[in-house]
Every structure is written in structure tokens, then in C-alpha cells.
A and B are shown apart, each in its own frame.
Chain A
Amino acid sequence: MSKILIIDDDPVITGIYQKQFAARSFQVEIADDGEKGLEAVKRFRPDCVLLDLSMPNVNGVQWLNEVRKDERFKSLPVVVFTSGSVGWQVKAVRNSDVTYVLSKDGTEPKQVVNAVVTSLETGKWKI
């Protein structure tokens, strides 16, 4: 049973995806900001992370940079799920090897789930 960590400060989003993943028999953990996300990734050891970028305390970009410093999480698949308008942040994560960047504006829940599933299958690395 794969473990998914959702890091997002919006309970609506986390609510939706907790439901979506749970319905597909994933084990889901929620962190509602980046700081908690850093703690959760070490404790929960997820197989894949669904990451928002725009968050209080530690934002998504900072979270990624921090996590990638840790040998254990070098190849952890991360799907960025954020609002499309934050262009600079999207650019910033392009260099930090994430599997997908999905926009909250247009992406349907099924596509988000599919992206996470694909990431689990193919690993962090985009092929």
C-alpha cells in the first residue's frame, strides 16, 4: 500500500485529495504547511508527495530544496500541484527535478491522481 504525503495549506484541497487517494487505497498523510511537511516526510516516509508551492512558513520551493539535501529523499517522487499564476515558483521548481507540475486551475482530480500513480510506477525521474 503506497503512502502519499499531501502538503497544502488549503483544507479544501487536502480534503479533496485525501478522499481521492483514500478511495484508491492509498495511505494518506496531510501537512498544512511546509514546516510540518518537513517533519512529516521524515516520520511518514511517503512513496510520493503532492506539493503545493504557495504556503506559509516554509513554502514549496524551500521545502523541496530542504528535502533534496537529504540523501534518503534524493529520488522521492514529487508532484507539484499549484495555482498556475505563480509563474516564478513554477520556474524555480523546474530545476529541482520534480515529476510533474500540475495547475490547480485546469487539472481534474483524476489527472492529479494519475500523475501520482505514474510517479509511483516510474520513480522520480521523468523519462
Chain B
Amino acid sequence: MRLQRRDFAAIVVMAAAYAVSGRLGLLLAVPPGYATAVWPASGIALASVLAYGMRVWPGIWIGSFLVNVWTALDGSVSGMFSSLAIPVTIATGATLQSLAGASLVHRFVGYRNVLTQEFDVARLLLLGGPAACLINASLSVAALVHFGSVPLAASAFNWFTWWVGDSIGVMVFTPVVLVWTVRPYSQWLRQQLSVSVPMVLMFALVVSIFMITSSRERAQARTSFENVSEEVDKHLQSEIDRYNVGLSAVAGLFAAQREVTPQEFDPFAGLLLSQLPGLYGVSWRPEISGAERDRFEARMHEQGFPAFRITEIGPDGLVPAARRDRYVVTAYSKYQEDRLETQGLDALSSPPRRAAIELARETHQPAATSLLALAGEPAGTPGFLAFKPVFERGGGSLRGYATVVVVLNRMIDQTLRGLPLDGINLKIIDESAHNPELLYARTPVPADASDDDLRYRAIVNVAQRTWTVETTMPAAYLVSHRSWQAWMVLATGLTLTALLGVLLLVIVGRTARVEQVVAERTAELTERKEQLRRARDEALDAARAKSEFVANMSHEIRTPMNGIIGMTQALADTPLTPRQKEIAGAIRFSADSLLSIVNDILDFSKMEAGMMHMEVIDIDLQRAIERVIEVFTERIQGKGLEVVVSLDPKLPHVLRGDPIRLNQVLTNLVSNAIKFTEHGEIEISARLEEDAERDVVVRFAIRDTGIGIPADAARRLFQPFSQADGSTTRKYGGTGLGLVISKQLVELMGGNIGVNSAPGFGSTFWFTVRLQKAPGAEVAQPPRTLVGHRALVVDDNETSRHSIAEQLASWGIAAAQAADGEAALAQHADVVARGEPYEIVIIDQQMPGMDGVELARRIRASAGGERPHLLLLQSVRGSNEPATLRAAGIEMLLTKPVGMSDLHDSLTRLIAGEPVQGATATAAPSAPPPASVEAGQPRVLVAEDNPINQMVARHQLVRLGIQADFVGNGREAVEAVKHKPYDLVLMDCQMPELDGYGATAQIRRHEEGSRHTWIVAMTAHAMAGDRERCLAAGMDDYLAKPIDPKALAAAFERFQHHGGTVTHPDPEPAAPAPAITTPPVDMARLWDAANDDPEFVRELADLYLEQTTEQLKLLKDAVAQRNAAEIERLAHRCKGGSGSCGVNGLAAMFLQLEKMGRDGKLDEVDRIFAGVEREYARVSDFLKQPIARPAAVQQQ
């Protein structure tokens, strides 16, 4: 294997890291000794092998070798290495241990995918730690023992601390290093700090606690050692004092009396000996001059010591002393039982004794000898003597010396008895001699002197000699006998650190794993959501498709339906036999039913698809209800039902909402009421239920006197496909969806729907809707010209009568009521008598007894001067001959159910005294609206591809008195409009080649704003948004197929209401033969303005022409100068005059000019003005002719 540069670098770094961490680990060794509880290097080594691979092994070896040699050399651990083989072995052991640990981890944990599971972490640390660390502990300690650095006895201890230190090193430091070096695991990197910071802090804390504990432990050991040492010193001193006292006592005995007999001395000495165990002997040694020698020996003989003589120690024992001038002779003595006869011995003959004696004699103080082999002792027992001089009383001459002989060992042993001297070595040294002399040594702990030894020295004075007492507690003893507190703290703390590491790794691992799982789940969820979204989109697409399908189907069905209904209508208008009429009616009825079913299904599916959108436009509630009733007029009349409308006067006149949907609900409920009511009446009421700031809640109720509904069936009414009774469908027809649709519509309009009913007592269906208030609705009310008038309502139906009377009252009319003809006549007579006759009498035609016509005749006959206006309410149209009515004095005929706005109009006209043509001026709903043909024939183009529908449209238009041109597709429609100025185009939306939208767009482009052809869309595509689409395409109005004749008439009304007077601004109508020629002046209007005065008509026409000619000159200038304000002003003025004189075409053009002036859009002004001039020329020509009174004028 070639050594790569990177490998080399890794090895060097490894070696340095090992050596440095090893040294740091030694700092943590517990002094004294080197039991280190943590060896970080082992952890770093294992982590490095795991992280960088086996190739770093030389780094471990070198690092370990270096740190051990380094330690040995700087002597911080003494006597460690007796051979270089030791560091080599240790380095090898460390290397093998790391490699083995890494192998174990690889094998049993599976490195690179670990540390997310607590078991993995635990296994990693246990295998890399305690297991692998057996290797180096065993190998290295064996080497140390083998080379004698560690005694065999200490090997177990050494092995244990080694193993623990290495294991903890691995458990603490491997994770810390791993989190910083394992780069591939991004989650680890993110969690480095969360693992390593707590671990390092914990480690520091443990080390700090260890340091404190360790130093306290040391201080404790020192204190206890010093206490013992002091005790030793104290005991020794006091022992010596006791001997001193003994010596003094002996001296005192001889000083006290001149003569002491042996009999006196002996017990005294015996007492002393028994008290002081170390006392070898007590003696009295008088000083004798050479002259007194004989006399003294003689006196001793006399005193009972016949053999007494003065001796000295010769080479072969005691010999008679040589002649000297002085002797210090043992006269009396007493020794322990093993005593030796030393009586007569001259102490001066022995130099050490003589030195002490001379010191005592000089200083008059006791003096001790140095350590002697005591004379006569069997084993030459070492000891010393102390001499105390005794003088004659009164400071006289020296008499002799009291002497004690002390066996040193015995005295010391006695002294130390009972003291806790474990581990303490003791030395006593006599410092007085020239060379300090070791007196005593007690060394139970064999050890080399070390700096770590505890030492204590004290000085003891012994009869003018200085002894040093030295106690020592060797480091070796401290090592083997110390408290393990600190080490335990360290080991436990580090183990806890390791556990913390495990915990953190597990938490981090868990977090990482949880995050990973969360990420996976999130991805899954996202995927799931995406799937759901797709599924939802597909479902929506499907729903749309279904809805489209239903709409298309409905379109497909509506187109032929249009044909069937229209052609049936056409058929019914031809002369038919009664039988044929009956058949045509049946076809019409069936077609209508089918159409309503199709509409129901379409609505239902629209609502199912959530595609029903509500409009918000103005709704005139009264009109809305009346429209519904109009639709059913024939059926109501056919059944002979009374229909009464009752409106809450508090309701705003105009509200905003969706009139079509409101109409649908009302129509459905009214239709049901009619369907299920054979006799009696139907009341439609609207009440203000809630009046909020911006909107109101209106409660509609449709009450009938029909068959009623059982309660349990009523509950199911509003659920889809569950009519009250299956048989109902068969009997009365319908899909049963009507109420369901109504319910959904009402809910869309923010309301509720319900029914109160009992079989046989009729039903009341009610619903509420929330409608917005229309801004400024109140000012739109018509002028109240009816206020203050007096009226009588005669009707046998109470509901109807009340309702009409109530309505009259709300218009300010004082309305009286009568239930039959007799009562009416009576009341009439009464008010005439009082001079307050009724101005109006409203009479129901069908009454029991006296009928309406009869009553009218009798009122007319009875009345004096003022005759009331008579208004008849008929139930069936055409049931009275006009002549009969005129004869009866009836001025106006209304058909029940009476629309209130029709009633209002009729009353206004009656009171205003307008001529009423017999009884024909009625609000008969199905009559073609005369307004549509009033202002001359509009030019109408119908674009429709279906020939049957063309026929239908032609028929319906003819009924409105309109001739129309027909084209078969959009392209033809565009061409036709280009060539002929149509006023109104009925445009089918679905056509071949070019559809209605496209055709409209082209027409609008062609017009360029110069004119505006009113385009009405016809579409069978009755989906929501269709109307918007038509309007967006530039169309003005919208009709749903099949085209209802009334809707068509209403569309023409709207066309005219929107200023759509028939205009012909085109210079030269291109079409060679216009279908309808229109006079430029509405003659009826002109005559009306002239108050039917033939002279004034002429005058007025001339005045008009004069004025307009003058104004047009000014207008021409203004146009030339592009003076918008002036154009506006002049056009406005001309418009007023033109309109008032019935010059409608010109008035409309002036309106255009006025608008242009107001908006400042003068692009087209020249063209329009040219049109004005041309039209004016036509008007002028026309008015200069004799002005004929139009034949139709009386038909207004």
C-alpha cells in the first residue's frame, strides 16, 4: 500500500492528537500515583480509526510511544520504565486495541449507519470501550510487571485503573470526535453542538469536581498525618519529662539529707523503676577526689558492701580504677531484675559519660549522654544516662550525681503505644553530636523517599541534648491506602458523561430519524395530496362534463321543443275544428310539461354541480308576483280560482336580487297551488320579515285551499325524488324536482322554505329570501295622483276584496267594501246622500245574486249628477260583449287575477279622465303588447339556422305585428346588417359557419360605434354564465329557447325602453325594398302635442321647423369647431323639441350627439351630424306636407 500524502497527514495528526490527549489525560491522574480515570487518547484513537479508516494506525502507535517516553523522561512518573520495551509494548497495545475496537464496531454494529438507535450507540460504546480496552490494559500491565516496573501485587490494581481509564476515554471522547468528523451525515453535522457542547461541559464539570475532591482528599490525608505526628511529639516530650522528674526526685533525696542509707535508697529507686518502664536503672554517684578514695571505699565496706571498690571498664571486664584525682562512683544503684553489678564503677572512666557529667557539673543542670551500649546489658542494649548534680546545701561543693539509665527503645515503644501510626515511618536523630546520630527508626512502610511523601519534624530536648523526631508517610503508602473517593468521583462522573453522550446521541439520532420519517411522510402526504388534487380535478372535470352533457342534452331537446311548441301555437292560430283545437291544446300542454321537466332536470344538475350563480339586479316585487300570476291566468280562470295578492306596504318597492330565480320559486309554488286546488282561492303574500341596514328578509307565502298534504309526506317534499306519493306524479305530472330545486334556490338566496298543511285544509308553502336594498329605490315611486279619492270594492270573495281594498288604501284611496250587489247599492246610495259619492267602484263580475254587470247598470241608473268610474273585474276573458259593458257604463275591464300595477295604471287613467275605449283597455296579459308596434315598425332580422325555429319566430313576430327578414347563419346575418340598417337582430347563438357570438362581434366592428343595432341572443344553452357570455360578445339582450311569446314581447319592450326607437341614420338604405317604411314623425304624438287642434298642429310644425333649422345652424358651427359643450347643449335642446313633437328618429340622433358632446368623444360627430341633416331634410319634407290626423290615434 503506497502511503498517500493524505494518509501521511492523517498519521501525523493522529500521532499529535494521541500524544497531546495522552498528556492531558495524565494531568487527570490522581496524585499521588498515576491512576488516571480517563484516557481520552483511547477514545480519539478509536474515533479516528472509525472515521478515517485503519490506515491511521501508525499515528496511534507513534502517539502512544511518544507520550510514554515523554512521561518517563520528564520524570513525572518515576521508575516507570526500566526498558524501552515498555513504551513499545504499550504503543502496540494501544494500536491493537483501537483496531480491534473498530473491527468489533464494524462487525457488530455496522458503522456508517449507526447512532440513530440507542442500542447501536450502546453497542458501539461498549464494544469500543470496555471490551476492546481489555487488550491494552492486559498487554501493558503484563509488560510493566515483566520488566519490574510494577510489582506483581499491584498488577491487578494497575490493570483495573488502566482498563477503566481507557474505557471511559472511549465512551466519552469517541462520540465527541465522531460528531465532528463524520461528514457524510448532514444530520450529524447539524447536531454537532447539541452533542459535543453538553458532553464537553459535563466533562469539564466532572473534572472540576474531581480536582476539588482530589485536593480535599489530599489535604485530609495531610491533616490526619500531621495530627498523628504532633501526637507522637507530644507523647515523647511528656515521657521524657517523666524521666526528668524521676531524676530530680533521686537528686532531691540526696540533697535533702546528708547521709542516705542503702535501706533508704532501695525502695525509692524501686518505686521509680516500677513507674517508668524504660528506666533501666537509678543510681547515686558521689564525686570523690583521689585523696578520699580509700576512705570512701572503707565507708562503703562499713555500710554493708564489703566487696566495694572503685572500678573501671577494662578490656576484659571491670578492673580496679586507675589512680585519678577524681572519681564519680556508683555508690547506690538499683536496676531492673536483669541488673548487672556496676557498683563502684567510675563513670568518668567512660568518655561519653564523663562528657555528660562535666556538662552537668558546669551547668548545674541534668545532662544526658549520647546513645551508648549500656554496660552490662546482655545485647548491648542501646540507651543513655542522665546525670543531675547534687550540691551541698547553701550553694556548697558538689556532692555527687543522681543518675538514671534509660533503655531508648523501651522508652520510645512506651511512648508510641496506642498512637495510630499506620503508614508512618518514624526517626529520632540526636542532633547534639558532631554527626547527627540516628537514635531510633521505625519503618513499617518500606519506600523510597519521594517528593510526594508527607513529612513532619519536631525537636525534643532531652537533658541538654537535642533530638529531632521525624515522621514520614511515604507516597507509596498514600497510593495504597488512600481514599478512592476522588477516583470514584472521576470514574462515576465520566461514566455519566458517557451515558449523557449516549443519551444525546440517541436523542439526536431519534430526532434525525423522526425528521427523516417526517420528511418521508411529508413527501408521501404531498404525493397523496397531489393524488387527491388530481382525483378532485378529475371528479370536477367529470362533474363539469356531466353538467355540460346535461346542458347539451337540454339544448338538443330544447331545439325540437321550440319547434313543437311554436308550431303548435301556429297551428292553434289557424282555423280549427273544436276537436282539432282540443288536440292542439293537448300537444301544447304535453310539450309544456316536457319542457318544464327538462328545465327542472337542467336546474337540478346545475345545482348539483354547484354551477348555479345568483344575479343581483333590481326586482320590483309587485311586478315579480304579477308576472307569475300572468303566466297562470288561463289555468286560474279555467279552474275558476280566486287569486289574491297581498303585499306588505312596508316592503321597499324595489329590491335587488335574482329576479329569474325568485320567479322560478314563485312559479313553482304557485303552479303547485293551482295544480292541487280545485276550488277556492290562492293567496300570494309577501311580508317584510327583517329590515336590516343593507338588506331585507322577505317572507313569501302561497296559501291554497287545495287537497293538503299529510304531515309525514310534507317532511319528504323537499328531498330529491320523493314526492308526497308516487301516484301524485302519475296524476299530476312533473318530476317532483320542483320543490327540491326551489329549496336549493331559496337557500342560495339566503332563506328557508317550508310548508304548513293538513289534508283537506289546504297548504301554505312559505319561503324567505334575503334581498339587498336598492339605493334610492324610494324616489323611483310613481307620482301619487290617486291620493284622497274615494272608492268602493264589491266582491263576494273576502280575501280578494280585502286585498284590493288594502292596496287602494296604500295608494291613499279611501276604500269601502261590499260583499254583494245589494250591499253595494245601499252603501252607494248612502254616500251620495251624504254628498261624498264614490269616485270609483270596482266590481267583481261573478257574484251570487246580482252579478257585476247588473250592479254596474243599477249604479249608473241610480246615480245623480256625479257618476263614479266603474271598473269591472272579470274572471274569464271575453265573457262579456263590449257593447253590454258600455251599456252598463263600465269604463274599464280587468281580468282576475288583477295585477296591482295594472290596477294602479287603470285607476290613474280613469281619474285623469283619459278616454278609455270601452272595456278593451285592459291589462290582459297575453295580449300582444301594443307598445311594440307603436312607434312604427322596427326593422328586424332573425338569424336562425333551424327552419322550424325560423317558422316559429316568424309566427311569433307576426303576432307582435312585426315583419322580419330571415337568414340561416352568422355570416349571412353580418352581410344582411351591412346592407340594411336593421333596428333589432334576433341572433341564434349556435349556428353553422359563424355562430351568434362571432356574428355579433363582426357587426359591432362594422358599426364602429356609429350606430348600435340592438342584438338579442337566442340560446338553448341555458347554463349559468351564458347570459354574461352573450352580453360580453356585444349583444344587448338574451332570450332562452324555446322562445316564449311573452318573453319575446318583453324583449321588444326593453329594446324600446333602452332608447331603441327605430332609427335610420344610414344615408342610403341599401336594401332596395325596406320591409317597413317608417314616417319620420310620430303623427299621433304630434297631434297629441297640439291637443288635437288642426290649426295648432300646423303652427306647431312650422314652429318646430323654424326652431330646429335655427338650432341646427348653430349646431353645425359647434360641430365644425369641435365645441363639445355647445354640441351637448344644442343637441339637448333639439332633442327636447323633437321628442315632444314626435320626431323620434331625430330625437334619438340628437341624444347620440348630446352624449358625444358630454363625453367629449367627437370622432363620429361629423358622421352623425350628417345623418341628422339628412333625417332633418326628411322630417322637413314630411312636415311641410299637409298634416293628416292619423287613423290610429284613438286607439291609444
A residues in contact (CB < 8 Å) with B = 9-13, 15-16, 19-20, 23, 52, 54, 82-83, 85-86, 94, 100, 104-106, 108-110, 114-115, 118, 122, 126-127
Contact = CB atoms under 8 A, between A and B. Distances in A.
Nearest to B1129: A54
B1139 A104 contact: yes
A1 B1085 CA distance: 28
B1100 A15 contact: yes
Contacts of A85: 1132, 1135, 1151, 1154-1155
A11 B783 contact: no
B540 to A, nearest CB: 45
B833 interface: no
B1141 interface: yes
B1103 interface: yes
Which of A15, A104, A114 has the most chain B CB atoms inside 10 A of its CB? Answer: A15
Nearest to B1093: A19
Which of A11, A110, A126 has the most chain B CB atoms inside 10 A of its CB? Answer: A110
A80 to B, nearest CB: 12
B1089 A16 contact: yes
A114 B1085 CA distance: 17
Interface in B1089-1128: 1089-1091, 1093, 1096, 1099-1100, 1103-1104, 1107-1108
Which of A12, A100, A104 has the most chain B CB atoms inside 10 A of its CB? Answer: A12
Given A19-B1100, A104-B1135, A106-B1139, 5 more contacts: A10-B1137, A52-B1136, A86-B1132, A104-B1140, A115-B783
A15 B1137 CA distance: 10
B1133 interface: yes
Contacts of B787: 122, 127
Nearest to B782: A100
B1090 A19 contact: yes
B1132 A12 contact: no
A118 B783 contact: yes
B1137 A94 contact: no
Contacts of B1091: 19-20, 23, 109
A108 B1100 CA distance: 15
Given A16-B1089, A16-B1140, A11 B1133 contact: no
B172 to A, nearest CB: 91
B1093 A105 contact: no
Contact of B1107 (A10, A52, A115): A10
B242 to A, nearest CB: 137
A19 B1133 CA distance: 20
Interface of B: 779, 783-785, 787-788, 812, 912, 914, 1085, 1088-1091, 1093, 1096, 1099-1100, 1103-1104, 1107-1108, 1129, 1132-1133, 1135-1137, 1139-1141, 1147, 1151, 1154-1155
B1096 A19 contact: yes
A46 B1040 CA distance: 54
B1088 A15 contact: no
Nearest to A118: B785
Nearest to B1143: A12
A9 B1134 CA distance: 11
B1151 A23 contact: no
Contacts of A9: 1133
A105 B1139 contact: yes
7 contacts: A10-B1137, A16-B1100, A52-B1136, A54-B1129, A118-B783, A126-B784, A127-B787
A82 B1140 CA distance: 11
A114 B784 CA distance: 12
B859 to A, nearest CB: 26
A114 B912 contact: yes
Contacts of B779: 94
Nearest to B784: A127
B651 to A, nearest CB: 20
A94 B407 CA distance: 146
A66 B841 CA distance: 45
Can you list the 3 inter-chain pairs with the closest CB atoms, starting with the nearest?
A12-B1137, A104-B1136, A16-B1089
B1142 to A, nearest CB: 10
Contacts of A15: 1099-1100, 1103
B1107 A11 contact: yes
Contacts of B1147: 105
Nearest to B785: A118
Contacts of A23: 1091, 1093
Contacts of A83: 1132, 1135-1136, 1139
Contact of A12 (B783, B1096, B1103): B1103
A118 B1132 CA distance: 28
Nearest to B1104: A12
A10 B912 CA distance: 27
Nearest to A99: B783
Which of B784, B914, B1104, B1133 has the most chain A CB atoms inside 10 A of its CB? Answer: B1133
B779 to A, nearest CB: 7
A86 B1151 CA distance: 11
Contacts of A20: 1089, 1091
A40 B1093 CA distance: 28
Contact of B1090 (A16, A114, A122): A16
Nearest to A127: B787
A6 to B, nearest CB: 13
Nearest to A121: B788
Which of A10, A94, A115 has the most chain B CB atoms inside 10 A of its CB? Answer: A10
Contacts of B1089: 16, 20, 109
Contact of A114 (B785, B1137, B1151): B785
A10 B1133 contact: yes
A10 B1135 CA distance: 10
Contacts of B1154: 85
A86 B1157 CA distance: 13
A94 B787 CA distance: 21
A89 to B, nearest CB: 11
A100 B1132 CA distance: 20
B1088 A109 contact: yes
A8 to B, nearest CB: 8
A114 B783 CA distance: 11
A82 B1132 CA distance: 10
A93 B1096 CA distance: 32
A118 B788 CA distance: 11
A127 B788 CA distance: 10
Contacts of B1090: 16, 19
B1063 to A, nearest CB: 14
Contacts of A118: 783, 785
B1132 A110 contact: no
B1047 to A, nearest CB: 23
Nearest to A14: B1103
Contacts of A10: 1107, 1133, 1136-1137
Contacts of B784: 126-127
Nearest to A86: B1132
Contacts of B1151: 85
A100 B1139 contact: no
A12 B1107 contact: yes
A114 B1137 CA distance: 20
Contacts of B1107: 10-12
Contacts of A115: 783
B72 to A, nearest CB: 112
Contacts of A104: 1135-1136, 1139-1140
A23 B1135 CA distance: 25
Nearest to B911: A114
A84 to B, nearest CB: 9
A28 B1154 CA distance: 31
B785 A54 contact: no
A16 B1107 CA distance: 13
Contacts of B1129: 54
Contacts of B1155: 85
Contacts of A126: 783-784
Nearest to A90: B779
Nearest to A15: B1103
Nearest to A108: B1088
